[in-house]
């Protein structure tokens, strides 16, 4: 498995940082000087085992899929995954954060997680089938097993990261996330619910 990750600070965050420093300077210059380098830096979460579910055939000229992986946050502040964007040749629809929850009928269904997916401070969060994921809608072309998909993931601290994910196809990564179709890799509904 080959995967490369390139992370960078965004201009938007640099602007926010300058504004924050200006505000802090108005009230207490001493407080600013006590910040650790870690606190002042734009910390970009890191990624391991990032992949997308292959979508080898489009239905009705379009399709959907999802991105999974482990996101780690080395900073001492929580950072939230806000979604992202894909190459326009793949889809121009914003990539939202999704979760899988149990509905009133007891079925596991996916829905948008509007407030994003939190990566706890000095911790990690795992996006996986049956749980959190980054959702792709309106695919313009198929994704074959082994294809590399590049997306930009945006974070609540103003940073973003460009992530290359290789397409896989496994039985329990279907879009309905029906636990009855699982091979055992998906957590029980109770553990999925507790992750929110
Ligand atoms: Cu979804």
Phi, psi (deg, nearest 5) at residue 161: -145, 140
Phi then psi dihedrals of residue 28, to 5 deg: -160, 100
Separation of CA 111 and ligand 1 centre (Å)? 6
CA atoms of 126 and 73, how far apart (whole Å): 12
Pairing of strands 46-53, 160-168: parallel
Ligand 1 centroid – CA 115 distance (Å): 14
- Work out the percent of the chain whose per-residue pLDDT is above 90: 64
Whole-model pTM: value is 0.68
The rounded distance, in Å, linking the Cα atoms of 102 and 112 is 13
Pairwise CA distance, residues 122 & 30, whole Å = 26
**Element holding 81 (H helix, E strand):** strand 79-86
How far is the centre of ligand 1, averaged over its atoms, from the C-alpha of 177 (Å)?
Answer: 9
Give tens-digit pLDDT for 50-60. Answer: 999 999 999 89
Half-sphere exposure of 90 (CA within 13 A, CB side): 24
Centre of ligand 1 to C-alpha 98, Å, is 5
Of 96, 54, 51, the C-alpha closest to 71 is: 51
Q: From the CA of 99, how far away is ligand 1's center (Å)?
A: 7
Distance 172 CA to ligand 1 centre (A): 14
51-94 pLDDT, tens per residue? 999 999 998 999 999 999 999 999 999 999 999 999 999 999 99
In contact, 16 and 158? CB cutoff 8 Å: yes
61 C-beta neighbours (distance < 10 Å), count: 8
Tokens of 29: 């210059």
Distance 97 CA to ligand 1 centre (A): 7
Q: Which tens digit of pLDDT belongs to each residue from 21-52?
A: 443 333 334 444 445 555 556 899 999 999 99
Q: Tell me, what DSSP letter sits at residue 129?
A: T
Q: Give residue 42's pLDDT.
A: 86
Cα(110)–Cα(113) distance, rounded to whole angstroms? 9
Largest CA distance in the chain: 61
Q: What is the pLDDT of residue 189?
A: 36
* DSSP-H helix ranges across the chain: 11-27, 29-33, 37-40, 189-194
Output the CA 174–ligand 1 centroid distance in Å. 10
Query: How many Å lie between the centroid of ligand 1 and the Cα of residue 12?
Result: 27
| Region 167-184 average pLDDT | 55
Domains and CATH numbers, the chain: 5-194 (2.60.40.1890)
- C-beta separation of 44 from 155 below 8 A: yes
């Amino acid at each position: 498995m080959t995967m490369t990750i390139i992370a960078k600070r965004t201009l938007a965050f640099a602007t926010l940082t300058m504004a924050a420093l200006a505000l802090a300077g108005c009230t207490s210059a001493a407080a600013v000087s006590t910040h650790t380098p870690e606190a002042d830096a734009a910390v970009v979460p890191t990624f391991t085992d990032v992949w997308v579910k292959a979508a080898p055939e489009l239905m009705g000229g379009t399709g959907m899929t999802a991105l999974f992986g482990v996101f780690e946050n080395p900073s001492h502040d929580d950072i939230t995954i806000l979604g992202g964007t894909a190459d326009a040749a793949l889809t121009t629809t914003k990539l939202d954060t999704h979760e899988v929850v149990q509905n009133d009928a007891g079925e596991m269904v996916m829905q948008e997680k509007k407030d994003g997916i939190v990566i706890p401070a000095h911790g990690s969060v795992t996006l996986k089938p049956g749980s959190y994921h980054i959702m792709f809608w309106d695919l313009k072309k198929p994704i074959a097993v082994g294809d590399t998909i590049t997306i930009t993931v945006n974070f609540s601290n103003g940073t973003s990261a460009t992530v290359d994910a290789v397409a896989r196809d496994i039985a329990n990564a279907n879009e309905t996330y029906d636990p009855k179709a699982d091979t055992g890799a998906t957590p029980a509904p109770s553990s999925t619910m507790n992750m929110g």
